Amino acid sequence: MVWLANNYNVILAGIISSVIVLGLQIFVPPISIIVYDTFTRRRPTKKVWGIASPKQIYIVSGSIGTMTSPTGLAFLAAPDAEAVAVITVSLRLLFPKAQLVHTYSPNFSPDMYGAHVISVGGPVNNTCTRTLMKATGVPASFDHLDLITPNRRYELSPPTKDEPINTDYGLVISTANPFASAARCIIIAGCDTHGVLAAANALSPDRLQKHFRTAVARSQRTFRFWKYYSYYAVVSAKALANTVGTLNIEEVNKL
């Protein structure tokens, strides 16, 4: 008892330090992961999307006109459908409180254009994309299956003996909604369906797409931590059955 009384302070200090070390081992790793993820992935990805704290977001798919039934049943190519899935998963991760409404351009009412709108698919089969591209005045357009920007004309080339897998091009536009300045419009289009999927993958918060987020940030020329980006970008990827290969960045331009 005498020894315990003489060493009480040392024993108490050892217990407290052990508790502190145990607490640090339990709580510091997950906290550091959350902080790292917030500032290196989620925050930069939200800036690329350009949406702050949305209550509702419309995801508008196109529909293959020649296959759309009289009853309104819509048909999508497999890569287009996959692109919508990628966008939906990304939005669920970035904006868990937002209500996501998926609809098709033939059913998209004109009075909905003033909301946060994400249009998935090229202007040929998606009237929403066609309307938004015209209204935003972005210097990028489609001529049949060719994507045209002030810098280049991106053309689909058929597979050859030397290049058995063709490359498709995707377009990402993120800017203020021309029908409501407080809202945002994002256009995800492509020369063909694989280009649409490549464009959707570019907006994914996946770490594999960090180079896209970096390229968008560099295109703004000035560092703006709390500001959201307005830009249009062209990406490319190899068409692989119903998916695409590694994402390549062709150009990114500030709006």
Indicate the domain borders of the chain.
30-254
**Max Cα–Cα distance, the chain, nearest Å:** 94
Lowest-confidence segment of 32-46, 95-109, 228-242 by average pLDDT: 32-46
pLDDT value of position 72:
57
CA distance 125 to 145: 12
| pLDDT tens for each residue of 35-54 | 444 444 567 788 889 888 89
pLDDT value of position 117:
97
**C-alpha pair distances (Å), 117 with each of 34, 105, 114:** 29, 11, 8
Cβ burial of 166 (10 Å; 0-12, 13-18, 19+) is middle
Q: Considering the chain, what is the average pLDDT of its residues?
A: 83
Contact 134, 126 (CB under 8 A): no
Contact 192, 176 (CB under 8 A): no
Contact 194, 79 (CB under 8 A): yes
pLDDT value of position 32:
44
pTM flag (> 0.95):
no
Contact 83, 242 (CB under 8 A): no
CA distance 195 to 124: 14
| pLDDT tens for each residue of 130-168 | 999 999 999 999 998 999 999 999 998 777 777 778 899
CA distance 87 to 210: 16
CA distance 48 to 67: 34
**C-alpha pair distances (Å), 202 with each of 10, 45, 143, 193, 206:** 57, 10, 23, 15, 9
Does the pLDDT at position 207 exceed 80? no
Percent of the chain scoring above 70 in pLDDT:
76
Mean pLDDT of 52-60: 92
Contact 232, 251 (CB under 8 A): no
| pLDDT tens for each residue of 174-203 | 999 999 988 999 999 999 999 999 999 999
Short-list 153, 97, 105, 95, CA closest to 126: 105
With vertex at residue 150, the alpha carbon angle to CA 172 and CA 145, rounded to the nearest 5 degrees, is: 60
- pLDDT band with cut points at 50, 70 and 90 for residue 226: low
Does the pLDDT at position 59 exceed 90? yes
Strand-pair partners of 244:
239
pLDDT value of position 232:
97
Lowest-confidence segment of 12-21, 44-53, 76-85 by average pLDDT: 12-21
pLDDT value of position 37:
47
